Amino acid sequence: MHDRIRHEALHARVMSASEAAALIKDGMVVGMSGFTRAGEAMAVPLALAERAKHDPLKITLMTGASLGHDLDKILAEAKVTARRMPFQSDAGLRRAINAGEVMFIDQHLSETVEQLRRGQIPPVDVAVIEAASITSDGGIIPTTSIGNSASFAILAKQVIIEINTAQPLSFEGLHDVYIPSYFPNRMPIPVVTCDSRIGTPWIPIDPAKIAAIVITEKHDSSAAIRPPDDETRAIAGHLIRFFESEMAAGRLTRRLAPLQAGIGTIANAVLHGLIDSPFEDLRMYSEVLQDSTFDLMDAGKLSFASGSSITLSAEKNAEVMPHFDRYKPRLILRPQEISNHPEVVRRLGLIAINTALEFDIYGNVNSTHVMGTQMMNGIGGSGDFARNAMLSVFVTKSIAKGGAISSVVPMVSHVDHTEHDVDILVTEQGLADLRGLAPRERAVKIIGNCAHPDWRESLADYYRRALAFGGHTPHILEEALSWHVRLRKTGRM
Amino acid sequence: MHDRIRHEALHARVMSASEAAALIKDGMVVGMSGFTRAGEAMAVPLALAERAKHDPLKITLMTGASLGHDLDKILAEAKVTARRMPFQSDAGLRRAINAGEVMFIDQHLSETVEQLRRGQIPPVDVAVIEAASITSDGGIIPTTSIGNSASFAILAKQVIIEINTAQPLSFEGLHDVYIPSYFPNRMPIPVVTCDSRIGTPWIPIDPAKIAAIVITEKHDSSAAIRPPDDETRAIAGHLIRFFESEMAAGRLTRRLAPLQAGIGTIANAVLHGLIDSPFEDLRMYSEVLQDSTFDLMDAGKLSFASGSSITLSAEKNAEVMPHFDRYKPRLILRPQEISNHPEVVRRLGLIAINTALEFDIYGNVNSTHVMGTQMMNGIGGSGDFARNAMLSVFVTKSIAKGGAISSVVPMVSHVDHTEHDVDILVTEQGLADLRGLAPRERAVKIIGNCAHPDWRESLADYYRRALAFGGHTPHILEEALSWHVRLRKTGRM
Ligand SMILES: CC(C)(COP(=O)(O)OP(=O)(O)OC[C@H]1O[C@@H](n2cnc3c(N)ncnc32)[C@H](O)[C@@H]1OP(=O)(O)O)[C@@H](O)C(=O)NCCC(=O)NCCS
Ligand SMILES: CC(C)(COP(=O)(O)OP(=O)(O)OC[C@H]1O[C@@H](n2cnc3c(N)ncnc32)[C@H](O)[C@@H]1OP(=O)(O)O)[C@@H](O)C(=O)NCCC(=O)NCCS
């Protein structure tokens, strides 16, 4: 254990998970590590849920992003989670949010700690952070994610560390912890390339704040990503042909531009598609590093990847982790505030690829609300990237639920990304390049190139009739959301 | 004229406006100076409209933002404007846009030249720029705005300069022209305070590109701003009391934070309200500097203002311009790409105050589309600021058109700013502080604090019935836009 806790005095703080969990009181704000099911503290939240059975308590739970191991479900069902921010992707918690039992504050992932730092949201009482080790100065070495862990630990009154002995000590050096200076004397964030190292490999905190250390041995949950199928391969194909034409036009090179790819099956499949493309010496400046990142490295296509977490399938994890030192020189994990920072995203000129639930004929995108009301996961980092990228791409299959739903609709039932932030839309049907187009021109391209043949004529009919009402963005307000109403009533749009 | 054109060889390029306009051919992309009715070239566009009477031609017209002197109306009616970006605020052009006669590409004002530089929109053939003078090296000294003029001139194949002798030579030194370096080697933009000077006081171009110089004598159109009334004073009052409570909570100081205020009557009135407030040594980092900027300086409240243009009423103009040298040390005009740059806005930690046409019970804002379809002006810089500000405030009167319209609606008919980008909403009724709140909590605050008493119960009723459908963001999709439909059909919501 001395290589895991190199600060001698801290050994005295080792205790059980339930003893540590006792530091968390009813009504507190708790900031936990964890980002896209990677690197979450587990023992303390499980102990908390256990305790709540006989000693009910409610907390505000902040994380980096989603938690693995059903923790969000367990905490919601134990009625521990009263408020939750800034992202989640758990079916159990989702049910509680949509029932109005848990107040979910859905945020741009770059903004949560900014708001904390300014005192705009209630301060973190206790931080619970998974670590691979603690340095002799009390610096915390995170595991497979950083997320918001650094700022949570720095800003919290008390810190609980879960030392996870299942994660290798060699994670040390993978992370780059940089905290922006405070207002009003803030300086530029010095990331100028994907591989810029600007901070420390540990989270620097006063060891006196470490109130408890819990020893665990746990593996991350595996990514729940489905393999590429015909549709996702078609989406990747359209996008790669577009990149080729951009290269022919002199707007991209063989290295493309630093890539960001969102969470989920489709974005992963699109990146996969680059393995069999003419592009090379690629770089990523992204949020989650999924299987595709490592597949691209294995294929000799990807030179460097910067992210905030690593989330792998069980198979890929078994391949990568034993040889982690081979990948490490080409990886950086950063706080999500930096991986997603508008300043850096704009500076690096990213190609951002995110997934839509649905988009409308004018190019507005809904990433979060099924039928305009039911929260899926949250906006996550998609807004941080789409607004500031050099090329903002949204992908989705043109239909969902076996064809009952068209993902191209007259008007989206909820807007996460406005037409201003959407350059390229892709479905398995085709790609619409919307750059420099007015709404009426966008509509023709989107309906023609992206809609599923089963729905194309209905969309074209809506658009034609909307034109009779006139306007910069023609709509028939009586009908604009009627497809969603029909879906709710009949199970089909 | 030798003090106006200090590059000797350029005197040979002086010609009439119609000769200069002959350089503009059918189908060209023309980039003109002008931002919020300030500093537009006038003689050449008027000559173009004249020529179109017998020699029809169509162009894509890009500017900084809106033009004065009815130029947008004249060019649209002459059928010269086929495509227009990135902003306008002219009733005549608006009609043509909403009739589908002019394709309007409504953009975040920080993004237009970025897209030009990357070749993502068609290149500028001819730039037409109003200038106070030309230096001995051929550098262009702009007048009351910079907008996109610098990049238009740098990127255009040919440049036409309109030397406006009505503007004082002493404008030299007011401007700060900085062009971000190209991808992939872009460096941080070194603005770290409102008064950071990072560029040159002229637009640096190769004098060989200056194809024509036209001598004009013109005054800017006056700002069409109505004076503060009871409602706008009430809005200002709510906001100032909020700032006071933020100061009491230690989140703001007596200097507040650098202020941005949007175009229009309401934003101007809000800034006015600061004259009789406890705040002092204020700074602005904004887009347009309106009357209120100079009133605040005169009152000893404002220490520095950075913007992209100066747009004054006739009275204020008559007061300010004779003593311009008194204000000049406390002013900088920057390219709109820099005044609005996400990187700088986030770094400086702005308080951004913009105007909504309407907002909904969850805090989504519509700034552009009347009844979801009819373009008013455009999103302008509101997205650049609202997304990245430390505090994003939207203001509006709670009713419009004598009470026929509630500006607080169940669901906005068009989304420009999502709930994620909206911290504070203010009407004359009151203020809703939405920070850290979930949608259901936002609804209660917005309906209770901001809605007009005439509409409050109908909104509360909608919300109560929507709750029965459940969801993170409860809505009755059948009814969500029914208020707008009723307005269209009956003239009243
Ligand atoms: C949008 C998002 C949910 C898609 O995830 P995905 O795994 O790639 O997509 P899938 O095709 O598997 O769709 C997920 C579910 O939504 C359903 N769905 C897809 N389109 C739908 C639509 N238009 N209406 C209703 N449901 C739809 C699918 O049927 C599927 O349901 P299931 O889980 O019951 O099978 C996901 O990308 C997300 O949460 N994005 C927002 C956050 C984000 O973009 N972060 C990016 C920065 S990391
Ligand atoms: C939203 C905006 C139009 C308001 O302008 P303003 O001058 O402050 O506001 P006004 O109250 O005078 O309203 C302007 C018009 O909209 C009408 N209006 C206001 N609310 C309305 C509503 N909910 N529905 C329909 N019309 C409405 C007013 O009646 C008025 O009409 P009129 O010109 O026929 O009298 C203006 O701020 C804008 O264009 N904003 C978008 C760009 C931006 O925010 N830039 C900021 C960075 S500079």
Taking only the tens place, the pLDDT of each residue in A434-487 is 999 999 999 999 999 999 999 999 999 999 999 999 999 999 999 999 999 999
B122 contact residues in A (CB cutoff 8 A): 436
Both B141 and B167 in one domain: the answer is yes
Q: Find the domain containing B102 and state its range.
A: 8-216
Protein residue closest via CA to atom 35 of ligand 2 = B401
| Residue reference for tokens 């969102």 | A262
> Is pLDDT of A341 > 80?
yes
Q: What's phi and psi for A342, nearest 5 deg?
A: -50, -40
pLDDT band with cut points at 50, 70 and 90 for residue B225: confident
Of B100, B251, B475, the CB nearest to A470: B100
Q: Is B190 at the interface with chain A, CB within 8 A? A: yes
- Give the mutation candidate from A472, A484, A488 for the B interface (greatest B CB count, under 10 A): A472
Give pLDDT, residue B274: 96
Burial A444-481 (b: 16+ CB within 10 A, else e): ebbbebbbbeebbeebbebbeebeeeebbbbbbbebbb
Cβ-contact A448, A428 below 8 angstroms: no
- Say what angle helices A230-248 and A265-273 make with each other, to 10 degrees: 50
Interface of B with A in 448-487 (CB under 8 A): 467, 469-475, 477-478, 480-481, 484-485
* Residues forming a β-bridge with B30: B61, B126
What is the pLDDT, as a whole number, of residue A227?
84
Which protein residues are within 6 Å of ligand 1, measured from CB?
A 262-266, 287-288, 354-355, 357-358, 367, 370, 376-377, 379-382, 397, 400-401, 405, 407
**CA B420 to CA A432: how far, in whole Å?**
27
Q: Would you call A362 helix, strand, or coil by DSSP?
A: coil
Q: Which ligand is nearest to the CA of A267?
A: 1
User: Which of these three, B156, B182, B216, is where a domain ends?
Assistant: B216
- Phi, psi angle pair for A62, to nearest 5°: -110, 145
- Is the domain of A151 the same as that of A294? no
> Can you name the residues that pair with B393 across neighbouring β-strands?
B353, B424
Pairwise CA distance, residues B230 & B233, whole Å: 5
% of residues, chain A, pLDDT over 70 = 100
Peptide bond into B184 cis (omega under 30): yes
Residue from A14, A110, A154, A64 nearest A346 by CA: A110
Tell me: pLDDT of B264 over 90.
Answer: no
Same domain membership, residue A202 and residue A235: no
Residue in chain A lying closest to B183 (CA):
A349
Atom of ligand 2 lying closest to residue B354 CA: 44
CA Rg, chain A, in Å?
23
Chain B residues touching A183 at Cβ < 8 A: 257, 348-349, 390
Q: In 3D, which of A180, A191, A183 has the Cα closest to residue B188?
A: A191
pLDDT for B224 beyond 80: no
Q: Is B377 annotated in some ligand binding site?
A: yes
**Continuous segment of H or E residues that includes residue B383:** helix B382-388
CB A103 within 8 A of CB B445: no
Distance, in Å, from the CA atom of B31 to the CA atom of B156, rounded to the nearest integer, reads: 8
Ligand 2 pocket member B353 (CB < 6 A):
no
Quick one: pLDDT band at residue A334, thresholds 50, 70, 90? very high
Whether A92 and chain B come into contact, CB under 8 Å, resolves to no
Residue A263 alpha carbon, nearest atom of ligand 1:
48
What lies within 8 Å, CB to CB, of A409 at 6+ separation is A358, A359, A360, A361, A459, A483, A484, A493
A3: in domain:
no
Q: Which atom of ligand 1 is nearest to the CA of A65?
A: 48
In a domain, A225, yes or no: no
Å between A332 CA and nearest CA of chain B: 19
Supply the CATH number for residue B153's domain. 3.40.1080.10
Q: What is the pLDDT of residue B1?
A: 80
Q: For the segment B369-395, what is each residue's pLDDT rounded down to a tens digit?
A: 999 999 999 999 999 999 999 999 999
Q: Mean pLDDT in chain B? A: 97
Q: Which residues of A touch B104 (CB under 8 A)?
A: 438, 472
Query: Is B471–A120 a contact, with Cβ atoms under 8 angstroms apart?
Result: no
Query: Hey, are the CB atoms on A186 and B98 less than 8 Å from each other?
Result: no
**Do B267 and B302 belong together in one domain?**
yes
Tokens representing B336 are: 């709109």
Residues of chain B with Cβ-Cβ distance to A97 below 8 Å are: 472
Asked if A161 and A54 sit in the same domain, the reply is yes
Whether A199 and A161 share a structural domain: yes
pLDDT value of position A74: 98
Sign of the C-alpha dihedral computed for residues A113, A117, A120 and A126 taken in this order: positive
Q: pLDDT of B439-466, one tens digit each?
A: 999 999 999 999 999 999 999 999 999 9
Determine whether B86 is exposed, middle or buried from the number of CB atoms within 10 Å of its CB (0-12, 13-18, 19+). buried
- In this structure, are A309 and A187 located in the same domain? no
Q: Determine the 3-state secondary structure of A181 from DSSP.
A: coil
Domain boundary pick from A161, A190, A216: A216
Contact between B436 and A104 using a beta-carbon 8 Å cutoff: no
Q: For residues B450 and B380, state if they share a domain.
A: yes
Mean pLDDT of the region A87-95: 97
Encoded tokens for B98: 């909403």
- Whether A124 maps to a domain, the answer reads yes
B91 CA from centroid of ligand 2 (Å)? 12
In terms of C-beta density within 10 A (0-12 exposed, 13-18 middle, 19 or more buried), how is residue A489 classed?
A: exposed
Are residues A316 and A200 located together in one domain of the fold? no
The C-alpha atoms of residue A248 and residue A242 are separated, in whole angstroms, by 10
Arithmetic mean of pLDDT, A308-333: 96
For B492, the token pair is 């009243």
Q: Decide: pTM greater than 0.90.
A: yes
Which residue from B76, B62, B73 is spatially nearest to B34, judged by alpha carbons? B62
Which amino acid, B250? G
- How far A240 CA sits from the closest chain B CA (Å)? 17
Instruction: Indicate if A387 and A253 belong to the same structural domain.
Output: yes
Give the domain-ending residue among B193, B216, B239: B216
- Give the pLDDT band (50/70/90) at residue A264: confident
Query: Do the domain assignments include residue B222?
Result: no
Cβ of B398 below 6 Å from ligand 2: no
DSSP β-bridge partners for residue B134: B5, B140
- Residues B347 and B448 grouped into a single domain: yes
Nearest CA to ligand 1 atom 17: A400
Distance, in Å, from the CA atom of A481 to the CA atom of A310, rounded to the nearest integer, reads 38
Annotated catalytic, B287? yes
Residues 56-75 of A with CB under 8 A from B: none
Give the count of beta carbons closer than 10 Å to the beta carbon of residue B138.
22
- B110: in domain: yes
Q: Kindly tell me if the per-residue pLDDT of A225 is higher than 90.
A: no
- Percent of chain A whose pLDDT exceeds 90: 96
Ligand 1 atom nearest A267 alpha carbon: 8
* Annotated binding residue B185: no
Among the partner-chain residues A250, A369, A478, the one whose CB lies closest to the CB of B473 is A369
Q: For residue B243, give the nearest of B291, B292, B268, B276 by alpha carbon.
A: B276
Chain A closest CA to B303's CA: distance in Å?
16
A262 part of a folded domain: yes
Is the pLDDT confidence value at A226 over 90?
no
Tell me if B236 CB under 6 Å of ligand 2: no
Residue A137, both tokens: 């100065």
What is the predicted pLDDT for the residue at B149? 98
CA atoms within 13 A on the CB side of A14: 16
CA B275 vs CA B233, B236, B237, B246, B306: distances in Å = 12, 11, 11, 18, 19
Q: A280 burial class (0-12, 13-18, 19+ CB within 10 angstroms)?
A: middle
Q: Determine which residue's CA is closest to atom 44 belonging to ligand 1.
A: A382
Instruction: Give the strand pairing for B391-395 and B288-289.
Output: unpaired
Please confirm whether the linkage preceding A168 is cis (ω < 30° from 0).
Answer: no
> How far is CA B431 from each of CA B231, B261, B396, B398, rounded to the nearest angstrom?
13, 17, 11, 11
d(CA A109, CA A72): 18
pLDDT higher than threshold 80 for residue A151: yes
Q: Are residues A305 and A206 in the same domain?
A: no
Picking from A102, A340, A373 by the largest number of B CB atoms within 10 A of its own CB, the best residue to mutate is A373
Q: In the prediction, which pLDDT does A371 show? A: 96
Angle subtended at Cα B162 by Cα B159 and Cα B164, rounded to the nearest 5 degrees: 155
Alpha carbon of A14: minimum distance to chain B alpha carbons (Å): 34
Q: A171: which 2 tokens? A: 């994670």
Token pair for residue B2? 């030798």
Nearest Cα residue to A105 out of A119, A81, A75, A84: A84
Q: Is it the case that residue B472 has pLDDT exceeding 90? A: yes
Return the pLDDT at B226: 84
Domain count, chain A: 2
**A414/B100 Cβ within 8 A:** no
**Pairing mode, if any, of strands B405-406 and B399-400?**
antiparallel
pLDDT at A6: 97
A312 touching chain B per CB within 8 A: no
Among candidates A179, A213, A218, which has minimal Cα distance to A42? A218
Residue B224 lies in a domain: no
First to last CA, chain B: 59
Q: Is residue A223 a part of any domain in this protein?
A: no
pLDDT at position B258, please?
A: 98
Burial class (CB in 10 A: 0-12, 13-18, 19+), B298: middle
- Nearest chain A residue to B116 by CA: give it: A436
Matching residue, tokens 């063989």? A254
User: Which residues, at least 6 apart from A329, have a Cβ–Cβ distance to it below 8 Å?
Assistant: none
Q: How far is CA B215 from CA B34, B126, B320, in A?
A: 17, 18, 24
Query: Residue A358 and residue A368: Cα distance in Å, rounded?
Result: 9
Both tokens assigned to B219: 């005054």
Ligand positioned closest to the Cα atom of B353 = 2
Average pLDDT over residues B105-116: 98
Question: Does ipTM come in above 0.90?
Answer: yes
Backbone angles phi, psi at B404, to 5 degrees: -70, -20
**pLDDT above 90 for A385:** yes
* pLDDT band of B263, cuts 50, 70, 90: confident
- Reading the block at residue B118, the tokens are 């990357």
The residues with which A131 forms a beta bridge, in sequence order, are: A163
**Residue A184 pLDDT:** 86
In the reported structure, the alpha carbon of residue B357 is separated from the centroid of ligand 2 by a whole-number distance in angstroms of 5
Cβ-Cβ contacts under 8 Å, B473 against chain A: 369, 372-373, 375, 414
> What's the whole-number mean pLDDT along residues B325-339?
98
Sign of CA dihedral B378, B384, B388, B393: negative
- Amino acid at site A145: S
Give, for A360, the enclosing helix (H) or strand (E): strand A358-360
